[in-house]
Amino acid sequence: MNEALLRSLTPSVLAVLVRRGADFAAAEDAVQDALLEAVRVWPATPSPSSSSRERPMRDAKGWLVTVAWRKFLDATRADAARRRREDLFDEEPAPGPAPAVDDTLQLYFLCAHPSLTPSSAIALTLRAVGGLTTRQIAQAYLVPEATMAQRISRAKRTVAGVRFDQPGDVATVLRVLYLVFNEGYSGDVDLAAEAIRLTRQLAAQVDHPEVAGLLALMLLHHARRAARTAPDGSLVPLAEQDRDRWDTESIAEGVAILQAALARDRLGEFQAQAAVAALHADAPTAEEADWVQIVEWYDELTRLTDSPVVRLNRAVAVGEADGPRAGLAALAALDDSLPRHAAVAAYLHERDGDLATAARLYAEAAHRAPNLAERDHLTRQAARLNAGRCR
């Protein structure tokens, strides 16, 4: 049983049902049921090359559409009977190949609809587009399954009135996929890989440089995954990562996608962020990175987003390009209540040789760290400087 294939078919099967007139919420449940049925009845395929065993999956999509449609009708009939109404769905559409029109893109828009909160949009996207089960999504976000089930059905109710054929905004979809990639726990479901898969699938549906930009950004960061944590689970900062452990294939793909996107001259924030990541990927060591160009990309990002987080990152880059004093000057213009402000200040002071101030700021940054891995890392930095000074 090829779960990846099954899951990749999820959105187009769902889209067929909706196009046939099924309402989105019921259709989505029916597709989930069909996926479970497929897992149950399809034989396990030990390897993708075992052609004879793959035969039942030759028209996997057609099979899923048929089963999902039947489940939809069953559920609708049962529902109708419960409500003591006449059967409304006696007519099955003529069996035949699934229509060539692919509404997968519409599903992305629906699941990231602006009326949904970010957490609802994420949950709905992972289920309806990604084909993950409610249990898997609940485990990935460390909430009870019942809570996640409610979050998803509430999200479905929220978008129940949205017309399926309405054009949506790619930017909202990208925001959701970015969050899936960037803010997942590391559980059984690999959310980063899932985000890449969904973004890749989206890129196949819509020709948009920012979709390419996000895909490139994800690939370039995903490439560093093995080097990002030490065996004990602690964070390894970019400058100290073993660059031999970066995934060169993923980097090459990310760079190629980014270059093609940039050539179209429609810059957006994801392309600019990916450009920064690409410049890091290109450097044999952190010091040898083209920091002047990185600062220029942060200037572009500031222009595009005016985000304080970008200005903070820019101060770090200025510190590398023009020296720590210049970095501290750039930092002085920023609100010191920003997340990670103290961490950046500590780093720049250390580079500037003011170890006492750096140690104090690392400790302060640790106190304000938004996650455990960063807190431990910053505490270790403070301890390292304090131990050095006492010697």
Partner 1 sequence: MAKYLLLKHYRGAPAAVNDVPMDQWTPEEISAHVQYMHDFAARLEQTGEFVDGQALAPEGTFVRYDGEGRPPVTDGPFAETKDLIAGWMVIDVDSYERAIELAGELSAAPGAGGKPIHEWLEVRPFLAAPPTITQ
Residues that bind partner 1 (CB under 8 A): 117-120, 122-123, 141-144, 146-148, 150-152, 154, 179, 181-186, 192, 217, 221-222, 225, 228, 235, 238, 273, 276-277, 280, 313, 369-375
Within a 10 A sphere around the Cβ of 59, how many other Cβ atoms? Answer: 13
CA 170 from centroid of its chain's CA atoms: 14
The span from the CA of 281 to the CA of 9, in Å, is 33
Q: Tell me the angle at which helices 60-82 and 24-41 cross, rounded to the nearest 10 degrees.
A: 120
At 235, give phi and psi (nearest 5°). Answer: -75, 140
The span from the CA of 287 to the CA of 238, in Å, is 11
Using CA atoms, how far residue 69 sits from 77, 82, 107, 110, 363, in Å, is 12, 20, 17, 20, 59
At 301, give phi and psi (nearest 5°). Answer: -65, -40
- Name which of 54 and 190 has its Cβ closer to partner 1: 190
- Name which of 166 and 182 has its Cβ closer to partner 1: 182
- Name which of 19 and 154 has its Cβ closer to partner 1: 154
Tell me which H or E stretch contains 368.
Answer: none
- Name which of 32 and 273 has its Cβ closer to partner 1: 273
Smallest separation, CB 195 to partner 1 (Å): 9
Smallest separation, CB 336 to partner 1 (Å): 19
Smallest separation, CB 302 to partner 1 (Å): 15
Smallest separation, CB 388 to partner 1 (Å): 25
- Name which of 119 and 302 has its Cβ closer to partner 1: 119
